[in-house]
Structure 1
Amino acid sequence: MHRTRRIGLPGPDENFEAIYLDDQGVEQRVPWGWLPEVVEALDRPVRSFPSYRGQRNFPGWYWSATVGRRVGFESWVERDHLVALDFDPSVTGIVSQPFWLLWPGESKTRRHAPDFLVRLDNDAVLVLDSRPLELIEEVDREAFAVTDQACGLLGWRYAVWDRLDPVMVANQRWLAGYRHPRCFDPQVAGRLLAAFEKPRALMDGAELAGDPLGTLPVLYHLLWRRELVTDLALVLSHRTTVQTAPSNDRLAMVGERNG
């Protein structure tokens, strides 16, 4: 069981508090306004991901290329959102179930743990809940509205994400299978980037760069890295038109990888 240590006292206008886990696994309870001061410490779930026989949702763990470790999810919708976040180059950090938000209810203290806290490359923070819109109930609407209000006080963005476009989801999940750095080969990558300087069909470029058995994993890794680009709103296939990313973007991404 986690130990809870309460830090500080709420100010006179403080309606919200937060609980998070520190690097020792100790629950820290702080005034809501303190949360930006400890945002770097929010790197582990504040609660577990239960799994049991007959469960209707599908929890699991996803290895994130962005943070280099596993991030938990509690449903396939959350998993799809997690892959999309991992694929987004503006995302620098992802934490699932990052904190409990506490606020006074009519008869007792209410609490809600958002699904994700996302740090962006412009130092902005996005707090997310993943929920198909048709499954949102009145109690959820209240929790989401309170979370939106609380995040606004901190200058953080808050959003509730519905299911994503199924074609985009399928394409991103396919590319995510090649997200690990082990799929990168610098010599093959160089040939692929040269082959796709002019837009061409995916398989044509793969064959131009060598044996597709060796070039395709690198090609998909480069698509994941966005060093090669295509329209992922369309079904990914051997006929998909692929080209190199604009040179400035590609150089920046190479620098990030080698930095």
Structure 2
Amino acid sequence: MRQISVDRPSRSLEPRLLEGKVTSPLWSDMCGWEDLATTCSQQDLSVGRAMLDLDHGWSGRWTATWKVGKAKRTGPVADLDSVPLNGCVPWRGFTWRQRQHHRPGLEPMLTTGRQHGFESHREDQFVVMADFAGEAEEVLSQPFQLSFQGEGRRREHIPDFLTVSRQGRWLVDIRPAGRMNDDDLMKFAASAEVALSLGWGYAVVTGWRPLTWRNVDLLYSRRRPMKDPLGLKPLLLETALTATKPLTFGELAASYAYPALARPVIVHLLWHRQLGVDLAAPFGDGSVLRPASTRAGTR
């Protein structure tokens, strides 16, 4: 993984634990993956935090072990922010065999230009959502093994993802709602304490806000670079920008002589945030579109 210079976060999240986001409208050209996610509450994490040994100097005694190639390196979690990410690899390999009960794989990301490992369908969804958000300059699956003190003994946990963007770093665990016991909450709380001590964001993603995954999955079908021999991209963008009122998906497609050719181009523009749509509403011909906000940019 290439080394990246990271600016400190510009978003105000103190503490940077996600909870209580609005649901609609959720404009696709403005949202980050954290706006789309449902997450473990701070109240649940406080149950796990009560099990941790957080006496003075804990960040110097807790350690993180990461891999650079085949070599393992260990250091106190207080120094994690200075660890160069260049050459870091996932803690575990992603293997496939008959009769396994989890679903590993590799998901390509346009924003990083690489494939990223995942161990479940839920983790695959996170990689897609992070790619759609367009902010991640780097994503590392299973970035390190955290060794911490909890309930009077040494414990270990491997977070699922570390994302790096201009807004900062996010440590992320993936676990469906209703599938967390007290031991899980203790491990997640330990990750949260490490992240907060470093000024990183942290979230346990339990799912996605209603309809958002279905809509992003639909846009995913047209995320790849596409040729535009008819020049439809600038034509459709200009039509949306100069319209006297917001156009629906069906209306924008019908503005071209052959709507069937315009539809996949519009979906492509939506994935690449050159147009926006409410992800919290069902997507169809009646979906209202808007030109991308100047804050969203294009990619």
Shorter-chain TM range is 0.7 to 0.9
Q: Are the counterparts in 1 of residues 111 and 135 from structure 2 also a CA contact under 8 Å?
A: no
Gaps of 5+ in 1: 1-10
Q: Percent identity?
A: 29
Aligned to 2:161: 116
> After the TM superposition, which of the residue ranges 158-167 and 54-63 deviates more from structure 2?
54-63
CA distance in 1 between partners of 2:230 and 2:111 (Å): 20
Alignment of structure 1 residues 1-259 onto 2, 5 Å:
14-22=60-68, 24-41=69-86, 43-104=88-149, 109-122=154-167, 124-182=168-226, 187-197=231-241, 198=243, 199-246=246-293, 248-249=294-295, 252-253=297-298, 257=299
CA distance in 1 between partners of 2:255 and 2:96 (Å): 47
Decide which structure has greater helix share. Answer: 1
Gaps of 5+ in 2: 1-56
DSSP 3-state at the match of 1:192: helix
Could you say if the C-alpha distance between residues 102 and 185 of structure 1 is closer, same or farther in structure 2, counting changes exceeding 3 Å?
Answer: farther
Could you say if the C-alpha distance between residues 83 and 25 of structure 1 is closer, same or farther in structure 2, counting changes exceeding 3 Å?
Answer: same
Relative contact order, CA 8 A, sep 6+: which one is greater? 2
What letter matches 1:233 in structure 2?
A: A
Aligned-pair Cα RMSD in Å:
2.5
CA distance in 2 between partners of 1:140 and 1:53 (Å): 27
CA distance in 2 between partners of 1:187 and 1:157 (Å): 41
How big is the shift at 1:130?
A: 0.7
| TM-score (norm: length of structure 1) | 0.82
How big is the shift at 1:64?
A: 0.8
Output one character per residue of 1:67-115: Cα deviation in whole Å (capped at 9) or x when no partner: 1111122222222222221111333322211111112467864221111
How big is the shift at 1:137?
A: 1.5
DSSP 3-state at the match of 1:236: coil
| TM-score (norm: length of structure 2) | 0.72
DSSP 3-state at the match of 2:285: coil
Q: Are the counterparts in 2 of residues 63 and 70 from structure 1 also a CA contact under 8 Å?
A: yes
CA distance in 1 between partners of 2:202 and 2:249 (Å): 37
Q: Are the counterparts in 2 of residues 19 and 29 from structure 1 also a CA contact under 8 Å?
A: yes
Q: Are the counterparts in 2 of residues 183 and 221 from structure 1 also a CA contact under 8 Å?
A: no
What letter matches 1:180 in structure 2?
A: R
Could you say if the C-alpha distance between residues 40 and 16 of structure 1 is closer, same or farther in structure 2, counting changes exceeding 3 Å?
Answer: same
Output one character per residue of 1:173-223: Cα deviation in whole Å (capped at 9) or x when no partner: 111222222366792210110122232221331232353443333211210
> After the TM superposition, which of the residue ranges 38-47 and 61-70 deviates more from structure 2?
38-47
Could you say if the C-alpha distance between residues 158 and 183 of structure 1 is closer, same or farther in structure 2, counting changes exceeding 3 Å?
Answer: farther
